[in-house]
Amino acid sequence: MISLTEVSKDYGGGRGLVHSSFEVPDGVIVCLVGANGAGKTTALKVIGGLVRPDGGEVRVEGTEPGASPNPLGCLGLVLGAEHWVGSRTGFQCLMGLARTSGIPHTRVRQCLEETGIAEAGHRKVRTYSLGMRQRLSLAAAMLGKSQNIVLDEPFNGLDPEGVRWLRSLLRRLADEGRAVLVSSHLLGEVEDIMDHVVVLKKGRVKAKASADQMRHPGGVIVRVEDPAQLAALAHSRHWQVKAAELPGAGEDAMLIDADIKEVQRAFLEEGVIFAEMREARQSLESWFFSAQEGWEEP
């Protein structure tokens, strides 16, 4: 488990984090989203112990970052794919990390296999594409069978097949009981795998929600043949009805502030003819922008 409590980091006038708090429980995928400069990378760096916060508390498996006697077993951290030494092979890069923790070469080869670059393990990293370097970084994060996996923009450079593979891998790691934190600005790539989402803006946690809370803002989207009949029914049932301003809802769709079973029962009883009825659901993108509306810097 990873936790940040009231964490702040100031870069001499440029704030990285401001009293930010969130958790990444075991067995859960948490997605950290925000615009460039929102503080995502700073959050990952304080988790990895690469920078020290000015205030607040960071815990990885209950200890301060870097304090674990088995660092690679505690935290697998990927902060981009550009840091590898291009003159070394992929295998050599991983072995350099493995030796520091007593990890055998068989585990290195296994991680290369699991990330789909075993055949390229003997090649120099400078010949790798961005997607291959991303896979090499993922292999490094998996070396110690870490309980906590932290990834910064892991979908960058991956082709559609690679994106599907990575989603499957992250889901498997979480299902095995690991805590998985993914920072990304590619909202569409993480929407289907996340269990929780945290929005950062100007270093502050602007919003947090479970996937279900984000996707189901509440209410029922309907399209009816007779709007006047719907208005009369809504008045009698004390429903709030308004235009459904959600992606894919349609210009004539209405949003009813009620449970879908209640709406179904009422429509059946009153003989309301409808062309569509479904629970309100929004995309991560629409929720993300809605979460930031009206926000003012303190």
Tell me the average pLDDT across 236-240: 94
Structure confidence at residue 58 as a pLDDT band (50, 70, 90): very high
In whole angstroms, give the CA distance from residue 159 to residue 180: 22
Tens of pLDDT, residue by residue over 152-187, are 988 888 888 888 989 999 999 999 999 999 998 878
Higher confidence at residue 191 or residue 32? 32
Task: List the single range of 143-157, 235-249, 257-271 with lowest mean pLDDT.
Answer: 235-249
In whole angstroms, give the CA distance from residue 44 to residue 298: 24
Tell me the average pLDDT across 253-262: 91
Structure confidence at residue 248 as a pLDDT band (50, 70, 90): low
Q: Single out the residue of 34, 61, 37, 38 nearest to residue 49, CA to CA.
A: 61
So what's the pLDDT on residue 15? 72
Query: What domains are there in the chain, each with its CATH number?
Result: 2-214 (3.40.50.300), 218-281 (3.30.70.100)
Average pLDDT, the chain: 88
So what's the pLDDT on residue 84? 87
In whole angstroms, give the CA distance from residue 91 to residue 141: 14
- Say if CB 152 and CB 183 are below 8 A apart: yes
So what's the pLDDT on residue 27? 96
pLDDT at 295 over 70: no
- Say if CB 125 and CB 93 are below 8 A apart: yes
Higher confidence at residue 281 or residue 170? 170
In whole angstroms, give the CA distance from residue 105 to residue 102: 9
What radius of gyration do the chain's Cα atoms show? 23
Structure confidence at residue 297 as a pLDDT band (50, 70, 90): very low
Tens of pLDDT, residue by residue over 64-81, are 987 777 777 789 888 877
- Say if CB 174 and CB 28 are below 8 A apart: yes
Q: What burial class does residue 139 get, using C-beta atoms within 10 Å of its C-beta: 0-12 exposed, 13-18 middle, 19+ buried?
A: buried
Tell me the average pLDDT across 202-230: 87
So what's the pLDDT on residue 114? 92
So what's the pLDDT on residue 214? 79
Backbone φ and ψ for 77, nearest 5 degrees, come out as -120, 130
In whole angstroms, give the CA distance from residue 144 to residue 70: 9
So what's the pLDDT on residue 250? 66
Give the 3-state secondary structure of residue 288: helix
In whole angstroms, give the CA distance from residue 144 to residue 103: 7
- Say if CB 103 and CB 143 are below 8 A apart: yes
Structure confidence at residue 290 as a pLDDT band (50, 70, 90): confident
- Say if CB 58 and CB 7 are below 8 A apart: yes
